[in-house]
Amino acid sequence: MDEIKEQTGREQGNGAGGNGHHPPSGIGVKRVTHEPKKLGVGWTLRGLMEVMRGLFTTGKHFVRPRVTIYWPYQPAPLKDRFRGLHRLERYEEGPYRGMEKCIGCSLCAAICPADVITVVASDNDPENPKSPGERYAKVYDMDMLRCIFCGLCVEACPTEAIVMKHDFALADYTRHFSQHSVDKFIYHKEDLIDREYYW
Amino acid sequence: MTLDLTSLYQTGRPYINMLVILAAIMGVAPMLVWIERKYLAYYQQRVGPLYVGKFGILQSFADGIKLLTKEELIPKNADRLTYLVAPAISMTAAFIGFAVIPITEAFYITDVNVAVLLWLAMSSLGAYGVILAGWSSGSKYPFLGCLRSCSQMISYELSLGTSILVPVLFAGTLSFKGIALWWKESPLVAQGNWIYLIPLVIGFFVFLVSGFAETNRIPFDLPEAENELVAGYHTEYASMKFAMFFLGEYVAISAIAAIAVTAFLGAFNSPFIGFAFAKQFSLEAVWGIWGRYLGQLFWFLVKWFALFWFFIWIRATLPRFRFDQLQRFGWYGLLPVSLVNLIIAALIVYSQASAGMAK
């Protein structure tokens, strides 16, 4: 329907030299404009048909079921591999039952691109070991204000000690008065180990 | 001495109707905003406002309270007096449009014999609110918005005025009540003379499109194009002054819809008015004159709401025009069509009249 109309810049009345945005118009510089050939009856009817088609499309959506999820009142449908808030795991069965999986190797801290994780390892008491390995994580802090939830820590962990659960609404009105720290968004080991998760 | 209630009512009726209609509009406008938000959401498979009141029905009132309690802010560069007066002009002009619309045979504020002209003048005056607001804000984007609004109004008022002349020509009166009463004994209804329908249908389309442009609705909302001009002419307005613009906009939409119903959709008459069976089922047969008024109110509201719904539907569907497209569409498209349509209407009136005389 559109006719490609070629006009020189001079005919457009734009010949006063370039204004910096367009190439300077003059002899030899063609400007191409797309314009309808004319405003005839067929063009008008076709336009009306297109509007009707558009109205029909939106009308279809009007009667379709709504896709809104009433989130805080309904559980959010998340994929199994959704990367939410972390959790430090324990062995649930086997010879190390009840022990922490984390052996304090700091690989998660090494791979973390946002520098979220701080691990300070300490030697296990041979009589009463906290983890099956030589050492365990004495300090395990995560600065959740920096976390980008990339999941690299989970991939790096050799013992699958750190996993990501489905909790995702982590914002709060205050930074203070966490159970274990002054800053709510610095998650300490006590916040992460055996953390109850909801989603 | 007894109090003559009937004559007292006759004297006071315009004032009572004025109060009732004003109160109704003030109450209905927030509901229209809510309905629009809800329906727009439905068109996108969302649910819309939900939490304030049942189904979010009080959302607009909550927004109103929020706007009322906001800080009054007047820009340093603003032309103070004009800046303050502009929203009032915009809102008042929109309200005055309702003065001449007959909602039923007996329920209207006034019936002047130049109602169409009055309404056209008032809708042009509404443009002054927009233009003065943009100019007096002392800021660039509102200024661009008001310039756009200015040229848009000039372009589209022509086809608006020309297209509404078709029912005026048919009814032979400039009074909206006269037009509304004409529908009943029009050749279209009384004699089933379908030739009258052609200019009315074309005129209705032209009027509707021009009405969208006149009220800055979405295919033509260039004066407040959000992604180009921030918020257009009301960028610098806050709190209640913004609310006045907002209210005025919705009242203007209601007025345009009501005018379109009166002039093109058979006013307050039942759509089955031409059929014999409608006589038996009419409320008039049951409750007499009040039944008739009630039926008229019902049909007016139904038609008016259907048209308002169509406004929302269009908003959910069509994208915004480019400005040169808008001007070309107005001057090369709508204006010639409405002029030719007027000529056709005049020819029909002339030929039918001479045919009547020959008989």
Question: Is the same domain home to B46 and B147?
Answer: no
Report how far residue B335's alpha carbon sits from residue B163's, in angstroms, rounded to the nearest whole number.
Answer: 9
Report how far residue A176's alpha carbon sits from residue B150's, in angstroms, rounded to the nearest whole number.
Answer: 55
Report how far residue B177's alpha carbon sits from residue B104's, in angstroms, rounded to the nearest whole number.
Answer: 9
Question: Is the same domain home to B85 and B2?
Answer: no
Radius of gyration in angstroms for the set of CA atoms belonging to chain B, rounded to a whole number: 22
Report how far residue A26's alpha carbon sits from residue B200's, in angstroms, rounded to the nearest whole number.
Answer: 50
pLDDT tens-place string over residues B26-73: 888 888 989 999 999 999 988 888 888 888 888 888 888 888 888 888
Contact A66 B318 (CB under 8 A): no
Question: Is the same domain home to B38 and B166?
Answer: no
Residue A182's pLDDT is what?
66
Of all residues in chain B, the one with the smallest CA distance to A44 is B333
Q: Which of B10, B39, B69 marks a domain boundary? A: B69
Per-residue pLDDT band for B302 (boundaries 50, 70, 90) equals: very high
Of all residues in chain B, the one with the smallest CA distance to A60 is B43
Residue A33's pLDDT is what?
58
Of all residues in chain A, the one with the smallest CA distance to B209 is A48
Q: Which residues of A touch B46 (CB under 8 A)?
A: 66-68
pLDDT, mean of residues A60-69? 88
Tokens of residue A177, six digits: 């008065």
Q: What percent of chain B has pLDDT over 90?
A: 12
Question: Is the same domain home to B16 and B156?
Answer: no
Question: Based on the number of CB atoms within 10 Å of its own CB, is B43 exposed (0-12), middle (13-18) or buried (19 or more)?
Answer: buried
CB-CB neighbours of A55 under 10 Å: 16
Domain count for chain B, please give it.
2
Of all residues in chain B, the one with the smallest CA distance to A34 is B325
What does the mean pLDDT of chain A come to? 79
Contact B45 A44 (CB under 8 A): no
Measured between CB atoms, which of A39, A65, A68 is closest to B333?
Answer: A39
Q: Which of B48, B69, B90 marks a domain boundary? A: B69
Place of tokens 């180990």: A193
Q: Which residues of B touch A57 (CB under 8 A)?
A: 317
Q: Which secondary-structure segment (H or E) carries A51?
A: helix A41-63
pLDDT, mean of residues A97-110? 89
Question: Is the same domain home to B354 and B215?
Answer: yes
Question: Is the same domain home to B314 and B233?
Answer: yes
Residue A30's pLDDT is what?
59
Q: Which residues of B touch A54 (CB under 8 A)?
A: 317-318
Tokens of residue B294, six digits: 């009630």
Residue A2's pLDDT is what?
45
Report how far residue B119's alpha carbon sits from residue B19's, in angstroms, rounded to the nearest whole number.
Answer: 19
Phi first, then psi: give them for residue A86, nearest 5 degrees. -75, 165
Question: Is the same domain home to B173 and B317?
Answer: yes
| CA distance, residue A58 to nearest chain B CA (Å) | 6
pLDDT tens-place string over residues B65-94: 888 888 888 888 888 888 888 898 988 888
Report how far residue B332's alpha carbon sits from residue B240's, in angstroms, rounded to the nearest whole number.
Answer: 39
Question: Is the same domain home to B46 and B95?
Answer: no
Give the N- to C-terminal CA distance of chain A in Å, as an integer: 55
Residue A92's pLDDT is what?
87
Report yes or no: B47 at the A interface, CB cutoff 8 Å: yes
Question: Is the same domain home to B170 and B263?
Answer: yes
Residue B64's pLDDT is what?
86
Per-residue pLDDT band for A12 (boundaries 50, 70, 90) equals: very low
Residue B126: partners with Cβ closer than 8 Å, 6 or more residues away: B89, B90, B93, B94, B248, B252
Residue A156's pLDDT is what?
92
Q: Which residues of B touch A62 (CB under 8 A)?
A: 39, 42-43, 313, 316
pLDDT tens-place string over residues B320-357: 888 888 888 888 888 888 999 999 989 988 887 776 65
Contact A58 B332 (CB under 8 A): no
Q: Which stretches of chain A sit within 8 Å of chain B by CB? A: 39, 44, 51, 54-55, 57-59, 61-62, 64-68
What does the mean pLDDT of chain B come to? 84
Measured between CB atoms, which of A44, A51, A58 is closest to B316?
Answer: A58
Range of the domain at B32: 1-69
Asked if the model's pLDDT at residue B107 lies above 70, the reply is: yes
Contact B265, B164 (CB under 8 A): no
Question: Is the same domain home to B89 and B169?
Answer: yes
Q: What percent of chain A has pLDDT over 70?
A: 76
Tokens of residue A103, six digits: 């052996």
Contact A197, A85 (CB under 8 A): yes
Question: Is the same domain home to B164 and B251?
Answer: yes
Report yes or no: B11 at the A interface, CB cutoff 8 Å: no
Measured between CB atoms, which of B42, B314, B333 is closest to A62?
Answer: B42
Q: Which of B69, B94, B126 marks a domain boundary? A: B69
Supply the ipTM of this predicted assembly.
0.75
Question: Is the same domain home to B138 and B96?
Answer: yes
Tokens of residue B300, six digits: 């007016």
